[in-house]
Amino acid sequence: MKKLVIIIVMALVGFTTQAQEKNKNAKIVFEVNGNCGMCQKRIQKAALSVEGVKSAVWDIDSHQLSLIINEEKCIPLAVKKAVAKVGHDSDEVKATKEDYDRLHGCCMYERIE
């Protein structure tokens, strides 16, 4: 009976440890507001500046930022904050008025307040 209990406990510990592992190549997609090629370069550069971001591609037409990140080193919220710091809104983090106002005229997208 003791051996059975020990085996069950060990199995549960193994499953729990495995479930907590972070993905080193997690694919994340979220919307970021912008208009043009200059926005694309700025958004991608800001995203790539976050430690743990391996790839960042922003699609001009769909406004979707596609990331490959190491979840052991970063979280999506950190990327959203970096993108907001250069003037671009996402679903969770909005750029400050000052950061938005620094954008080039063609990059000023319509903001939803």
- What is the rounded CA–CA span in Å between residue 11 and residue 7? 6
Q: What number of residues does the chain have?
A: 113
Query: Does residue 70 belong to any structural domain of this protein?
Result: yes
Query: Does residue 112 belong to any structural domain of this protein?
Result: no
- The pLDDT assigned to 22 comes to 85
Query: Does residue 34 belong to any structural domain of this protein?
Result: yes
Query: Does residue 8 belong to any structural domain of this protein?
Result: no
Residue 41 has pLDDT above 90, yes or no: yes
**Two tokens at 50?**
């976050």
- What is the rounded CA–CA span in Å between residue 67 and residue 23? 13
Query: Does residue 12 belong to any structural domain of this protein?
Result: no
Residue 102 has pLDDT above 90, yes or no: yes
Query: Does residue 43 belong to any structural domain of this protein?
Result: yes
Residue 52 has pLDDT above 90, yes or no: yes
The CATH number of whichever domain residue 52 belongs to comes to 3.30.70.100
For residue range 69-91, what is the model confidence (pLDDT) as tens digits?
999 999 999 999 999 999 999 99
Query: Does residue 7 belong to any structural domain of this protein?
Result: no
- For 40, list phi and psi in degrees, rounded to 5: -55, -50
- Of the listed ranges 2-16, 32-46, 47-61, 76-90, the least confidently predicted one is 2-16
Range of the domain at 56: 24-107
- For 112, list phi and psi in degrees, rounded to 5: -100, 115
- What is the rounded CA–CA span in Å between residue 107 and residue 101? 10
Both ends of the chain: CA-CA distance in Å? 63
- What is the rounded CA–CA span in Å between residue 98 and residue 85? 9
Residue 31 has pLDDT above 90, yes or no: yes
Count of domains for the chain? 1
Query: Does residue 65 belong to any structural domain of this protein?
Result: yes
